[in-house]
Chain A
């Protein structure tokens, strides 16, 4: 069973640019959630995708957008980057099911560190 993977590991962009982050979900999981973690803070929910549809969104502007593909991998796109977008971006995968299976627990990838200059 493969875990959640994310790419790239880190990247540096300048203000105003656009960025795409990628996430491959754990085998058997059909739900991907994205979180932003600023330095020294807990992660904040950006949005969630379930079977290729957005299934909930946090308090983030529309320049944060996403996609989920038929193989359940996902992308996070951020347009018009701002300095405050500098953060660790975490992807988590899960699969809604019976509580006994614990598949609805979200398992996290290693994250992508984004620095905006």
Chain B
């Protein structure tokens, strides 16, 4: 069975700083997707970034980038130039395509301080 572990329950950084959220996972699958979802206080789960395991290149979406280490089963999220609107709960997630369920970690609560 797949598991997703986020070891940082809560983090705080100053606005404009760079922050890295950690995630490790366990699977015997070779083909899978990894995601970071953001859940602000409004509770809407928003996709931040997606990484296909077969791709060696790390995914990037504007200020958000990942460090995907397949052998180490590590998938960290880097937020550059953090903004107040980045304050949210961040969930690391795993999915085996194409139809499978998403397995979520317990989340990291991120506070961006003015």
Residues of B within 8 A of A33 (CB): 101-102
CB distance from B28 to the nearest CB of A (A): 18
Q: A28-59 interface mask toward B, CB cutoff 8 Å, 1 = contact, 0 = none?
A: 00010101000001111100101000011010
Interface-lining segment among A12-20, A65-73, A75-83, A95-103: A95-103
Question: B102 to A99, Cβ gap below 8 A?
Answer: no
Task: Select B101's contact among A41, A45, A97, A104, beta carbons within 8 Å.
Answer: A45
Q: A85-117 interface mask toward B, CB cutoff 8 Å, 1 = contact, 0 = none?
A: 000101010001101001011111111010000
Interface-lining segment among B14-22, B45-53, B63-71, B80-88: B45-53
Question: A58 to B101, Cβ gap below 8 A?
Answer: yes
Closest partner residue, chain B, to A57 (CB atom):
B101
Residues of A within 8 A of B75 (CB): none
A111→B103 CA distance, assembly (Å): 18
Number of residues from B at the complex interface, CB < 8 A: 26
Q: Which residues of B contact A (CB under 8 A)?
A: 4, 33, 35, 37, 42-47, 50, 52, 91, 93, 95, 97-107
Closest partner residue, chain B, to A43 (CB atom):
B104
Residues of B within 8 A of A55 (CB): 99
Closest partner residue, chain A, to B52 (CB atom):
A99
A99→B102 CA distance, assembly (Å): 16
Question: A48 to B106, Cβ gap below 8 A?
Answer: no
A58→B103 CA distance, assembly (Å): 11
CB distance from A32 to the nearest CB of B (A): 12
Given contacts A56-B99, A105-B47, A108-B46, 20 further A-B contacts (CB under 8 A): A31-B99, A41-B106, A42-B4, A42-B93, A42-B104, A42-B105, A48-B101, A50-B99, A55-B99, A56-B100, A92-B102, A96-B98, A96-B99, A97-B98, A104-B98, A105-B50, A106-B95, A110-B42, A111-B43, A111-B44
